[in-house]
Amino acid sequence: MEVLYKSTRSGQNTVTASQAILKGLAEDGGLFVPTAIPKLSVSVEELSKMSYQETAYAVMKEFLTDFTKEELMDCIEKAYDSKFDTEEIAPLVNADGTYFLELFHGKTIAFKDMALSILPHLLTTSARKNNVKNEIVILTATSGDTGKAAMAGFADVAGTRIVVFYPKGGVSPIQEKQMLTQKGENTHVIGIKGNFDQAQSGVKEIFGNKELEEEMARAGFQFSSANSINIGRLVPQVVYYVYSYAKLVENEQIQNGEKINVVVPTGNFGNILAAFYAKNMGIPIAKLICASNDNKVLFDFFQTGVYDRNREFILTTSPSMDILISSNLERLIYKLAGEDAEKNAQYMKDLSGEGKYEITSDMKAQLEDFYGNFATEAETAETIHKLYDQTGYIIDTHTAVAAAVYNKYKEETKDETKTIIASTASPFKFTRSVMNAIDQEKYSDMSDFELVDELSTIGKVDVPDAIEEIRDAQIRHNTVCEVGDMEKEVKKFLGIEQS
């Protein structure tokens, strides 16, 4: 059955999957959603025997119905290959009775690789299918991980360029070095003197600028987005929830049909929305547990039905979740509103105007599948420490937020349902915070790379290639700009005349 996509803000026109991938964001500022979430057409029994790549095909073909089998398989094969340091691509690790779904075995050792290693191929295939001759310019705001993963995915991909904005001072030293050493003539990274939300708003503004769009077209360019709002990011993320469920069945850790809970450390609401889609496709998921750090907008939202971004922006040790506007939540709001685009558009208008909106009690009642909570900095650190003490397994700060929230959930509900925790980054990416959590005093004098080696020793895991690579790598990017100058920087990189 053909799946088409419509905007969450004006549900009239539909576009094909490839068009939605090319556009990223709908003209009206809304996000593309499938007219209906498709069901899986293979059984869990069949899935349990499939490789990651085969599972990816089984899931993605249901969403990207205008791609031919050859096109989609080609994208999948190019994405999920030896770039990943394990054939399983997304292995499950049992620690302390819970299953950690390790989504950090790709090129930049964070979960963004799961989608960003395939997006460039989906995008260039989409361009070909739609006879697009312009060079595709990827514009991305990052809270630390997306930027590097996107650049790694797009570096030297013919017919594309990529510009990444990140909050200077708002990412970890290793994240920053990873970005600033990025190779590829078509890559460009810029620090802004502001926070992630400002970077994201700035990018959205550039996307919405019609005049600039025309100027770009005259010069042979068109924008697209690699941010998690792109349906080409969301769909590949559904895969690992399907895959991990089937693996639990195959390994007889659960019965076929048995419900599981899923815990996701959440920022932009993309990863947990993918779990929600997996549930809607037919995977037996009971609770979707949404974990926040001190920027607990989502927790408050699940409690009260009020989404309110008017609050202090807090820098935490889980910087990829330091977000006050969770863009992908709009897709859920739209669904809760009965796919009423007008109603959703009003909420989003209130959000950009007053910085908040309140959903109706009917809508709130539909949030039953979700549970939200948050972990403070102290709770996050304590969770890393305790899990290491008890099991020897070392998790990163983002995963620790999820594990801490899961502990609260269990204590509150006594729910013993088997549970998967999305493990979204390697501890090597946030070495200092992780090692501080394990032993503040012992490690406080060590350099970042000394800590990397120490982590490898005490955790009994090899230093990932992604870290080895940047030890002595040359800094290739050093642009910093004011929030107001983002557009100017883009034009400079593309060589478009300043008007």
Ligand X SMILES: *Cc1c(COP(=O)(O)O)cnc(C)c1O
Closest by alpha carbon to 247, among 424, 55, 378, 437? 55
Q: Smallest distance, Å, CB 429 to ligand X? A: 7
Helices (H), 284-430: 297-304, 329-336, 341-353, 361-365, 377-391, 397-413
Q: Which stretch binds ligand X (CB under 6 A): 52-60, 85-93, 263-271, 458-466?
A: 263-271
Round to whole Å and give the CA distance between 372 and 288: 8
Round to whole Å and give the CA distance between 416 and 428: 31
Judged by CB under 6 A, the residue of 150, 234, 260, 321 near ligand X is: 321
Q: Smallest distance, Å, CB 497 to ligand X? A: 36
Round to whole Å and give the CA distance between 125 and 427: 34
Q: Smallest distance, Å, CB 112 to ligand X? A: 5
Judged by CB under 6 A, the residue of 195, 271, 293, 431 near ligand X is: 271
Round to whole Å and give the CA distance between 22 and 27: 12
| Binding residues among 91-130 for ligand X as defined by CB under 6 A | 110-112
Which amino acid would we find at residue 310?
Answer: N
53 binds ligand X (CB under 6 A): no
**DSSP 3-state assignment of 6?**
strand
| Binding residues among 412-431 for ligand X as defined by CB under 6 A | 424-425
**What DSSP state is assigned to residue 95?**
E
Round to whole Å and give the CA distance between 35 and 3: 7
320 binds ligand X (CB under 6 A): yes
Check: CB of residue 346 under 8 Å from CB of residue 334.
Answer: no
175 binds ligand X (CB under 6 A): no
Round to whole Å and give the CA distance between 477 and 35: 42
Contacts of 462 (CB under 8 A, 6+ apart): 456
228, two tokens: 């998690």
265 binds ligand X (CB under 6 A): yes
- Cβ distance to ligand X smaller for residue 212 or 262: 262
295 binds ligand X (CB under 6 A): no
Catalytic residue among 6, 23, 107, 112: 112
Q: Smallest distance, Å, CB 129 to ligand X? A: 27
266 binds ligand X (CB under 6 A): yes
Q: Which stretch binds ligand X (CB under 6 A): 32-40, 58-66, 260-268, 403-411?
A: 260-268
Judged by CB under 6 A, the residue of 62, 145, 197, 489 near ligand X is: 145
Triad 76, 250, 289: Cα angle to 5°: 75
Q: Smallest distance, Å, CB 424 to ligand X? A: 3
Residue 112: active-site member: yes
| Binding residues among 395-414 for ligand X as defined by CB under 6 A | 398
**Residues with active-site annotation:** 112
Residues that bind ligand X (CB under 6 A): 110-112, 145, 228, 265-271, 320-321, 398, 424-425
